[in-house]
A and B are shown apart, each in its own frame.
Chain A
Amino acid sequence: MQMTEFKPKIVAFCCNWCSYAGADLAGNNRLNYPAEVKIIRVPCSCRVNPMFILRAFQRGADGVILCGCHPGDCHYTSGNYYTRRRMALLFSMLNFLGIEKERTRVEWVSAAEGAKFAATMNDFVAQITALGENKRLEDLRCKK
């Protein structure tokens, strides 16, 4: 029996100053990463509040990844340090509620790391594909 292949929906929040440019670089260098990744540009990774992550899942994301500047390299000096603490606590809490820990990730990708961006996305998409559809943080109304 032929199963329809599961194509996950991935939301990637990318910092304007680094990983968004990293994504650009990946494109310029013709490095492939899956089309399932939907990039949302943010001015700094710390612009992403926990609600954004949850809302992405509500609206149908199967995985959410947040990309920012490497610690120490924040365009605004310290934004990504706060991101790091917030997401550490949030992801830990989501896992505490029984949400698969593989569904969320934070990755530091600089503007020069086009290759890392593509590799990260490929890896994350593969991970979510293996994990399957997001059932535990879904909103059924959005799936109708």
Chain B
Amino acid sequence: MRKCSTANLDALLRTIAENASLYLPVDGTDGRAHFTKWEDGVKMSDALNTVRSAKDFFFPQTENLMDFKVEGKTIEIIDTREECEDFVIFGVRACDVRSFDILDRVFLVDPVDTYYKNRREHGIIVSMACTRPSETCFCRTFGIDAANPGGDIVCYKEEDAWYFDALTEKGQALLSKLESLTEECDTAAVDAQKDLIRERMDKLPLADLTADAFGGDKLNTYFNAPEWKSLSQSCLGCGTCTFVCPTCQCYDIKDFKTNKGVQRFRCWDSCMYSDFTKMAHGNNRTSQLERFRQRFMHKLVYFPANNEGIFGCVGCGRCLSRCPISMNIVKVMKELGGNA
């Protein structure tokens, strides 16, 4: 474990930024935290979490896949992939760190998504423990320990100092570059913080929420449950929950005609949208109930069925605070699972 005095943090960030682009949560003009590129003078936000999740770094909202040049009847395909630069995301919370594991299970299984893989290989994650978890937090429901986030380096912020511990080789390599700004230290302060965090986690309003009632084998239990009707009743069919969600990964592939050719790009899509499954001669999910059900069944049943029981939710609470009608996965779990 290495320790960096709070006074030295700016110098530490500067050193990181010398070798790689550094992103960290910064309060925007709207008063909320967003991941922003660090430069001299930029102050890290104290907010618990960012409005958008950190998935954008590996799976951006839109990205160009390839270009086409079309002339007469002929087509030329231009591979626009480029090796991405190294970057560091600083201050990622435990929930978001876990979301990368979930995205990996989609994008890194065969056939590998090279766009995602490229970014994943060049990204270093510095996670950060949550000393003040919010009322909307329920990461523990999914076995995440906010006191022990994953990533390449984990950090703990105390009043007078920041504590760092490398968890991977990549993290070790970065930490060794910061040796002059950090000093070896014992784990007493960090242990105390971990105890405090766990004590606080115990007291959260959603501390008792469990996902035990859900899992890969629960398709028939819930698919035709009458509760979906009232749960989905006032859903607007917007994409807010999907787009702020760190694990939602559905996408669309579209073509854009530039003035000289065609750009094929992919962009986030939402299973909540009415045209998500629409095809030339029909739509297999015509009601909002079906679309709403798909989103939650995917996270609580279908995803675990294919991934050794791991749920497709990390309990970050973003949908709890952002849904225009305040409908969210916690309400769905409580209503369906009956453990209200």
Contact = CB atoms under 8 A, between A and B. Distances in A.
A143 interface: yes
A141 interface: yes
A130 B260 CA distance: 27
Interface residues on A, range: under 10
B75 to A, nearest CB: 18
A121 to B, nearest CB: 23
A143 B258 CA distance: 8
Contacts of B259: 59-60, 142-143
Nearest to A60: B259
Interface residues of B, number: 5
B256 interface: yes
Secondary structure class of chain B's binding surface, majority of residues:
loop
Contacts of B263: 141
A144 interface: yes
B176 to A, nearest CB: 40
Contacts of A59: 259
Nearest to A140: B258
A28 B185 CA distance: 88
Interface string B229-266: 00000000000000000000000000010111001000
B66 to A, nearest CB: 14
Interface string A57-95: 001100000000000000000000000000000000000
A59 B256 CA distance: 12
Contacts of A60: 259
Contacts of A141: 256, 258, 263
Nearest to B265: A141
Nearest to A58: B259
Interface in B48-107: none
Contacts of B256: 141
A141 B263 CA distance: 8
A36 to B, nearest CB: 16
Interface of A: 59-60, 141-144
In the A-B complex, the 7 residue pairs with the smallest Cβ-Cβ separation, listed nearest first, are: A142-B259, A141-B258, A142-B258, A144-B258, A141-B263, A141-B256, A60-B259
Given A141-B256, A144-B258, 8 more contacts: A59-B259, A60-B259, A141-B258, A141-B263, A142-B258, A142-B259, A143-B259, A144-B260
